[in-house]
Amino acid sequence: MIHWAPTWLVYAWNRLRYRLRRDRYADELAEEIAFHLDRKRQDSPTPPGAVDPVRRQMGNITAAREQCRDLWSFMIIERLVQDLRHAARAYGKTPGFTAVCVVSIALGIGGATALFSLANALLLRPLPYHEPDRLVRITGIYPRAGVAFFAEHARSLETAAISSGSEFNLTGQGAAIRLFGSYASPNFLTVLGVSPALGRSFAPGEESPSRDRIVLISHALWKTHFAGDPAAIGRVIRLDGVDRQIVGVLPAGFAYPSAKVQLWIPCRLNPAVFVEYWGAEFMPLVGRLAPAASLGAAQAEAHTLARAFEGRFPYPMPRDYYAAVTAVPLREDILGDVRGRLIVLLCSVAAVLLIACANVAGLLLSRAATRRKELALRAALGAGRRRIVRQLLTESVGLASAGAILGVLLGVATLSIFKSVLPASQPGLEAASIDWQVVAAVSALALAAGLLAGLAPALSAAQVDLVDAFKTGGQRATSGFWTRLRGAMIAGQIALTLILLICAGLLLATVYRLSTVDPGFDSTRVLTVPISPNPSSCQLPAACIASYNRLLDHVRGLEGVVEASVANSVPLDGAAPTLPLEVEGHPTTPDFPTPMLWLAAVSPSYPRMMRIPLVAGRYLSESDGPNSAPVVLIPESTARRFWPNETALGKHFRVAGSSVWRTVVGVVGDVRHYRLAQALPSGVAGAIYMPYAQSDAGEGRIPAAMTLVVRTSAPARDLAGAIERLARDQDPNVPVGRVQALDALVSSSISDLRATMLVFVSFAAAAVALAAVGVYGLMSYWVSQRTYEIGLRVAIGCTRGGVVAMILAQGLRLTACGVAAGLLGALFTTRYLAALLFGVGATDLVTFAAVTALVAAVGLAAAAIPAWRAARIDPIRALRAE
């Protein structure tokens, strides 16, 4: 024995020792007490026949034994283990119930895990820039002149322009490839507060025309194309035919303005090049607040400067173009339209989690009701109220923990679905993953859900009145409050389910409408290949035209090719080529600025090949060459817009800034150029087709990058390889993109919408299943509570039909309450979806009606089984059981 050790240590050590040999000590104690009693009897003998006074005097020996036993044990842990063991045994007896509970919670937790991860990456994690709270975006977009103007005049902000990006050809490094790059002010890294991982940043003054032949590259591009070689710094690469020296590599993960951007080029400011300085590309501005400046001051200044700049345009701008300019925190700007979808996702997940919780609570409640007798027995044997509540809470938390483990696994799958719903270039999305923080949050959530789901039943069970419970056979003794609470929970669950289903229904209708929408062209058996020579290679249009004609001749010679043509973009490929055009008879004023039209510069055979119907006049022909009279085709809607009451044939357009009028020779059918849901981008007034040889994409230049479009006679995929080879052989310095079927292009244009729909449909399906279980559970509970009453009714002459009707009516009442609340909620919720919808209103009557009918049917079906069971109650047995 260790005599010198501190008492507490000896105590702890001994407890552990005693715990291990507890049973032996218990026996020894019993022997000791027996000895004690015998000695006592010897010392004071009792007259025969009398009650043994020793026994009576002895006090509560059982209590003494229990007390000793407690001393030898670790009660908190042992009780927990005992509770858990008991819970496991109870769950093993009801596998169906257990499975439903665990799956319910797993669904809720899975959704929550995925959403937490997403929200963590997009909303909570600070932007990876220095003092991100001081960064703002100045709304609106500005020509380069505006960039210079803001840089010169802004006092409360340091501003920088970063264009959203465009494609560049990288040549002279093996096969030519297409890269995505942004134009940026030289100070953009200073403003964002990021330093390059390697090399240097742009220096002030590098926006001047003689010094801008430099480029910064992304970490990913450095790794993939320069093998992560530090010697890449200083290398000269050829981008769109311009030699630029690599001066730096940005840190890994830098993704501004989007994760797509691979290189950054100084945004040259040269007032001498009029079109580049005032027109060409309009760019967004970001800014860093000056040390003492507030956001409010920056907003006011941005507004004032934009209005001042508006007056400087050398050509008429739309009235009030910059009227609403302000500054918004950069984080808000980056989230942009993703926020709407995040809110929608958040709501649906929260709904499912709530439903799951309500469900489990409901199931536990009805279980507690059937276990009333058992609980009463335990209470009678001396279990305290707290002990019973703890037992029930242990059960529900155990259940929730099992659900949480399954849920985290489910969450990994759900997160990948969520990621597919959001645009891949969203900064920060890549980093979204399920990390320990999320797992910790989920564990907390599971605990909370378990406690929450267990609390109501536990409290209701703790209310059990012993005598009452035994007397009535334990079926009718809970207070109405818990039953009413449960009814309310189920009604709320039906309401949430209805909202989710309506959202899913609206999206489903949208996707269906989009799949049946006529795109205006025939996409079957059409292959597309983007070919993108440097813009500079088309400085002599004739060379470019000849080169494409040569390619077309070769392709037309291939076996299985019906027709081939080139177009500056094909419908739904994501590009948006627009051009300002003056319209004959429509003078431009600030109230009627030069309309922007969608430019389709195409081979003359293109409209016919795409099977775009001819409405009036003629198609283009091969004779519409570079030297013949310039002609154009316009779609019906454009014709109607500019000449609503007369024929468009013979009317004229001219490219803004040019003097050549082009004659409309034909009107063709409308084509969904931009999206299936939206024929043209907002702000684009119409479309115009020009023969490629006569085309002008601005400043008199013909477009260089074209897409080869080929209609084949058979669905021959092997043609793809031959076409790609032909295109590559034309010029090894010209990047050739992937061959894609036009069908695939059309269907992938709505892939993210389809994914969003899928999310909703799966959540809604889960919600419907959960709601059905919830209603079923409640009605079964209700029936089991009223067995006696129903038996009595049947005994005094109520028909089976009457019983069924009574139960169904109860179920219907519940469903009706839920549906009413749900419809109200849906009217408020669906407006967040409005931007995604097509062909259906946010309050589409058919969808609302169909979903209501579906939910009502599910509610009825779920109530039908308990009703049927109630109808089979044997009155004799029900009455005798009491």
Partner 1 sequence: MGTDKPPAELLPGTLDLLILRTLLVGPMHGYGIAARLKLVSEDVLQVGESSLYPALQRLLLKGWVRAEWGASENKRRARYYELTAAGKRQLAAEREEFARIVAAIWKVLDMA
Q: Where along the sequence are the contacts to partner 1 (CB under 8 A)?
A: 1-3, 5, 7, 10-11, 14-15, 18, 28-29, 31-33, 35-36, 38-40, 43, 57-61, 63-64, 67-68, 71-72
Question: Reduced to 3 DSSP states, what percent helix, strand and coil does the chain have, rounded to the nearest 5?
Answer: 55, 15, 30
Question: In which element (H, E) is residue 564 found?
Answer: strand 561-567
- Minimum distance between the CB of residue 380 and partner 1, rounded to whole angstroms? 23
Q: Which is nearer to partner 1, 43 or 718 (CB)?
A: 43
Q: Which is nearer to partner 1, 40 or 130 (CB)?
A: 40
Tell me the residue type at 412: V
Q: Which is nearer to partner 1, 57 or 682 (CB)?
A: 57
Place of tokens 């009604």: 491
Nearest Cα neighbor of 161 from 149, 171, 170, 153 is 149
- Which tokens sit at 612? 């775009």
Q: Which is nearer to partner 1, 11 or 315 (CB)?
A: 11
Tell me the residue type at 431: A
Query: How far is Cα 93 from Cα 453, in angstroms, rounded to an integer?
Result: 20
- Minimum distance between the CB of residue 73 and partner 1, rounded to whole angstroms? 12
CB-based contact 242:665 (threshold 8 Å): no
Q: Which is nearer to partner 1, 38 or 622 (CB)?
A: 38
Burial class (CB in 10 A: 0-12, 13-18, 19+), 242: middle
Nearest Cα neighbor of 781 from 374, 454, 453, 475 is 475
- Which tokens sit at 116? 């937490």
- Minimum distance between the CB of residue 59 and partner 1, rounded to whole angstroms? 4
Q: Where are the beta strands (DSSP E) in 214-282?
A: 214-217, 236-239, 242-249, 263-266
Q: Which is nearer to partner 1, 64 or 308 (CB)?
A: 64
CB-based contact 866:804 (threshold 8 Å): no
Query: How far is Cα 43 from Cα 853, in angstroms, rounded to an integer?
Result: 87
Q: Which is nearer to partner 1, 57 or 210 (CB)?
A: 57
Query: How far is Cα 563 from Cα 553, in angstroms, rounded to an integer?
Result: 10
Nearest Cα neighbor of 346 from 123, 135, 549 is 123
State in Å, rounded, how far the first CA of the chain is from the last one.
63
Q: Which is nearer to partner 1, 41 or 307 (CB)?
A: 41
- Minimum distance between the CB of residue 72 and partner 1, rounded to whole angstroms? 8
Instruction: Kindly report the backbone phi and psi dihedral angles of residue 759, in degrees, each rounded to the nearest multiple of 5, phi listed first.
Output: -60, -50
- Minimum distance between the CB of residue 788 and partner 1, rounded to whole angstroms? 46
- Minimum distance between the CB of residue 379 and partner 1, rounded to whole angstroms? 24
Q: Which is nearer to partner 1, 12 or 343 (CB)?
A: 12
- Minimum distance between the CB of residue 364 and partner 1, rounded to whole angstroms? 38
- Minimum distance between the CB of residue 66 and partner 1, rounded to whole angstroms? 9
- Minimum distance between the CB of residue 384 and partner 1, rounded to whole angstroms? 20
Q: Which is nearer to partner 1, 32 or 591 (CB)?
A: 32
- Minimum distance between the CB of residue 382 and partner 1, rounded to whole angstroms? 17
> Side by side, which strands form the sheet with 157-161?
157-161, 283-289, 135-142, 327-329
- Minimum distance between the CB of residue 33 and partner 1, rounded to whole angstroms? 6
SS (H, E, C) 521-549: CCCCCEEEEEECCCHHHHCCHHHHHHHHH
- Minimum distance between the CB of residue 19 and partner 1, rounded to whole angstroms? 11
Query: How far is Cα 317 from Cα 302, in angstroms, rounded to an integer?
Result: 19
CB-based contact 271:143 (threshold 8 Å): no
Q: Which is nearer to partner 1, 31 or 874 (CB)?
A: 31
Q: Which is nearer to partner 1, 25 or 278 (CB)?
A: 25
Q: Which is nearer to partner 1, 38 or 78 (CB)?
A: 38
SS (H, E, C) 628-690: CCCEEEEEHHHHHHHCCCCCCCCCEEEECCCCCCEEEEEEECCCCCCCCCCCCCCCEEEEEEE
- Minimum distance between the CB of residue 22 and partner 1, rounded to whole angstroms? 11
Q: Which is nearer to partner 1, 68 or 485 (CB)?
A: 68
Q: Which is nearer to partner 1, 59 or 644 (CB)?
A: 59
- Minimum distance between the CB of residue 68 and partner 1, rounded to whole angstroms? 5
SS3 199: strand
- Which tokens sit at 633? 């085709």
Instruction: Kindly report the backbone phi and psi dihedral angles of residue 419, in degrees, each rounded to the nearest multiple of 5, phi listed first.
Output: -60, -35
Q: Which is nearer to partner 1, 3 or 89 (CB)?
A: 3
- Minimum distance between the CB of residue 387 and partner 1, rounded to whole angstroms? 21
Burial class (CB in 10 A: 0-12, 13-18, 19+), 3: exposed
Q: Which is nearer to partner 1, 14 or 628 (CB)?
A: 14
Write the DSSP string, 11-72.
Answer: HHHHHHHHHHTHHHHHHHHHHHHHHHHHHHHHHSPPPTTS--HHHHHT--HHHHHHHHHHHT
250 backbone φψ class: left, alpha, beta (φ>0; ψ -120 to 50): beta
- Minimum distance between the CB of residue 76 and partner 1, rounded to whole angstroms? 17
Question: In which element (H, E) is residue 306 found?
Answer: helix 295-310
- Minimum distance between the CB of residue 60 and partner 1, rounded to whole angstroms? 5
- Minimum distance between the CB of residue 77 and partner 1, rounded to whole angstroms? 17
Nearest Cα neighbor of 719 from 732, 710, 728 is 710
Q: Which is nearer to partner 1, 30 or 175 (CB)?
A: 30
Place of tokens 């103007």: 149
Q: What dihedral do alpha carbons 647, 650, 654, 659 form, nearest 10°?
A: -150
For residue 284, say if its preceding peptide bond is cis, omega within 30 degrees of 0: no
